[in-house]
């Protein structure tokens, strides 16, 4: 009975989690171009619609309607996301309560875009307002993710992919404690047959004793036995990681904070120095932090500027995950405009690819 109850509880938990984390966005369909009267509600897996010459939903005509989609958006990676919308007519998009796209006017099948920095694994409130005036209603929602290795093109020849239901939810999946495990009953042990046999007398045997060979000492002529064990040399202990000391007022380089080449994905060895910085910030709650990203002068200056900005934002996101309040951190990117070494020599140029921090005491 206990096993049956455990399986029943597991089934109920999975059912509730599936219902609460239903994929897609809640779409509310209204008559009029400014949400005058709601006539229909449904769950839309993605926004990929062309309603030319037809009604988008029961109770609506081919013209003069508005739609509001709401739900949660899952960010699959750290970095800057660029959202695109191709619409006829008006569009507004909020991600995490930030308005990233706003063109609330008549548009003849045009593209609009906006950017926002998101953290990996987080769910963000998503709201899309849309209206169509006369005929030819259409809306397509797509994005360009920071972890895309190759630039993909959607049907409109714009970088990015349609946002599918894999990343759209009506609610964020619940975080639940794992169900207690019910131990299975132990299987009965098979009986062991005991067979009595007559005792056998084993005659005593003589064990040979080891004979230690004498060796001559280099100092004395007396024989010395080598029966004592030889001790191994002591193991060398690894040196502890030096603790970085941070003080307000100066701008310092985080030398161990490194990224993948031409990317803003943190390398694992960056964690030691960033964890020490997080500890220092927690111990000094009045400190404010400015993070600046820098690059060398190789490549397009505009891309270098964006790369430096995103690297600073990734460091800020790391510290927030370690408990540092967002209002204590500011970021900026300088691209290759502030070199500290010669860009003509690679060994020197890599010094320019850096992240700097400036600490300021709030009471000063």
In CATH, what number is assigned to the domain containing residue 20? 2.60.120.1560
Q: How far apart are CA 217 and CA 224, in angstroms?
A: 6
The residue out of 116, 139, 169 marking a domain boundary is 169
Predicted local confidence at residue 102, as pLDDT? 94
Residue 124 sits in the same domain as residue 28: yes
Domain presence at residue 78: yes
The residue out of 130, 150, 169 marking a domain boundary is 169
Domain presence at residue 228: no
SS3 49: strand
Q: What is the DSSP string of 291-329?
A: EEE---S-S-HHHHHHHHHHHHHHHHHHHHHTT--GGGE
* Token duo for residue 335: 């691209």
Provide the domain limits for residue 306: 251-361
Task: Answer for the pair 332, 290: CB distance below 8 angstroms, yes or no.
Answer: yes
Q: How far apart are CA 322 and CA 315, in angstroms?
A: 11
Residue 154 sits in the same domain as residue 276: no
Q: How far apart are CA 87 and CA 103, in angstroms?
A: 10
Residue 22 sits in the same domain as residue 142: yes
Domain presence at residue 208: no
Q: How far apart are CA 292 and CA 271, in angstroms?
A: 18
Residue 158 sits in the same domain as residue 257: no
Q: How far apart are CA 273 and CA 255, in angstroms?
A: 8
Separation in Å, CA 236 to CA 193, 233, 239, 242 = 55, 9, 9, 18
Task: Answer for the pair 26, 38: CB distance below 8 angstroms, yes or no.
Answer: no
Predicted local confidence at residue 72, as pLDDT? 95
Predicted local confidence at residue 172, as pLDDT? 76
Predicted local confidence at residue 177, as pLDDT? 42
Residue 44 sits in the same domain as residue 164: yes
Residue 134 sits in the same domain as residue 266: no
DSSP code of residue 237: P
Residue 162 sits in the same domain as residue 46: yes
Domain presence at residue 134: yes
Residue 160 sits in the same domain as residue 48: yes
SS3 98: strand
The pLDDT tens digits for 115-133 are: 999 988 899 999 999 999 8
Domain presence at residue 112: yes
The residue out of 153, 169, 185 marking a domain boundary is 169
Bridge partners for 118 per DSSP: 79
Residue 255 sits in the same domain as residue 162: no
Predicted local confidence at residue 138, as pLDDT? 93
CATH number at residue 342: 3.30.1330.60
Q: Which of the residues in the chain have pLDDT under 70?
A: 1-21, 149-159, 173-241, 364
Predicted local confidence at residue 81, as pLDDT? 93
Q: How far apart are CA 62 and CA 54, in angstroms?
A: 5
Predicted local confidence at residue 241, as pLDDT? 59
Domain presence at residue 314: yes
The pTM of the full predicted model, rounded to 2 decimals, is 0.53
Question: Which of 362, 299, 287 shows the shortest CA–CA distance to 324?
Answer: 287
Total domains in the fold of the chain: 2
Residue 279 sits in the same domain as residue 144: no
Domain presence at residue 293: yes
Predicted local confidence at residue 249, as pLDDT? 86
Domain presence at residue 59: yes
């Amino acid at each position: 009975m206990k096993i049956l109850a455990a399986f029943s509880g597991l089934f109920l938990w999975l059912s509730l989690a599936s219902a609460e984390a239903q994929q897609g966005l809640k779409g509310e369909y209204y008559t009029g171009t400014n949400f005058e009267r709601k006539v229909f509600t449904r769950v839309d897996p993605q926004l990929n619609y062309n309603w030319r010459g037809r009604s988008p939903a029961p109770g609506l005509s081919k013209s003069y309607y508005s739609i509001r989609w709401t739900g949660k958006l899952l960010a699959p990676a750290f970095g800057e996301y660029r959202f695109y919308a191709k619409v006829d007519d008006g569009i507004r998009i909020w991600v995490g309560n930030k308005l990233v796209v706003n063109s609330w006017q008549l548009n003849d099948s045009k593209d609009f875009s906006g950017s926002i920095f998101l953290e990996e694994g987080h769910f963000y409130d998503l709201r899309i307002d849309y209206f169509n005036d006369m005929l030819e209603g259409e809306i397509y929602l797509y994005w360009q993710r920071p972890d895309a290795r190759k630039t993909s093109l959607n049907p409109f020849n714009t970088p990015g992919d349609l946002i599918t239901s894999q990343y759209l939810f009506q609610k964020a999946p619940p975080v639940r404690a794992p169900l207690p495990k019910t131990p299975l009953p132990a299987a009965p042990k098979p009986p062991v047959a005991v067979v009595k046999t007559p005792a056998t007398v084993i005659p005593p045997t003589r064990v040979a004793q080891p004979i230690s060979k004498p060796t001559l000492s280099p100092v004395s002529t007396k024989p010395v036995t080598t029966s004592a064990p030889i001790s191994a040399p002591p193991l060398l202990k690894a040196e502890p990681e030096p603790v970085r000391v941070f003080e307000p007022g100066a701008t310092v380089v985080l030398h161990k904070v490194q990224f993948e080449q031409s990317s803003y994905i943190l390398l694992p060895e960056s964690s030691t120095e960033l964890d020490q910085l997080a500890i220092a910030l927690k111990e000094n709650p009045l400190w404010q932090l400015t993070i600046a990203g820098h690059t060398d002068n190789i490549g397009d200056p505009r891309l270098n500027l964006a790369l430096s900005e995103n690297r600073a934002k990734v460091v800020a996101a790391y510290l927030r995950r370690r408990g540092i309040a967002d209002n204590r951190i500011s970021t900026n990117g300088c691209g290759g405009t502030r070199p500290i070494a010669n860009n003509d020599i690679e060994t020197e140029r890599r010094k320019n690819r850096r992240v700097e921090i400036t600490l300021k005491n709030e009471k000063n």
